[in-house]
Amino acid sequence: MKKKYTASFKAQIVQEILKEEKTMVQIASEHGIHPQQLTDWKAIALRGMPSLFGEDRKSAAALKAGYEQQLQQLYAEIGRLSTQLAWLKKKSGIEFE
């Protein structure tokens, strides 16, 4: 079974790697993770680092706002449909469970 790690755990490990106080093998051994996995996490972090300082942060915020707006619209639609369904059940006289 493949073990899942949280994003915060991965970030913590990458920070430890970047401090360069221990070797990659030492860190891997301490946490029971294969050194290649740590190398992959470090590479992902380094590739993503420029976006922390650029326009990507704004686009991520805009994307999140759009998602939240869409979520609100979907909840409103569910509410409308639930109300319509209840009205139709009442008018038809049919009992549904």
Q: What is the pLDDT of residue 51?
A: 76
Please compute the mean of the pLDDT values over residues 12-22 and round it to a whole number: 94
Q: What whole-number distance in Å separates Cα of residue 25 and Cα of residue 7? A: 21
**Residue 41 near residue 10 (C-beta atoms within 8 A):** yes
Q: What is the pLDDT of residue 97?
A: 60
Angle between helices 24-31 and 7-19 (to 10 degrees): 150
Tell me the per-residue pLDDT of 38-87, one tens digit each, with 9 for 90 and over. Answer: 999 999 999 988 877 777 667 777 888 899 999 999 999 999 999 999 99
The helix (H) or strand (E) run that includes residue 75 is helix 56-92
Query: With a threshold of 0.85, does the pTM exceed it?
Result: no
The amino acid sitting at 35 is: P
Contact partners, residue 32, CB within 8 Å, separation at least 6: none
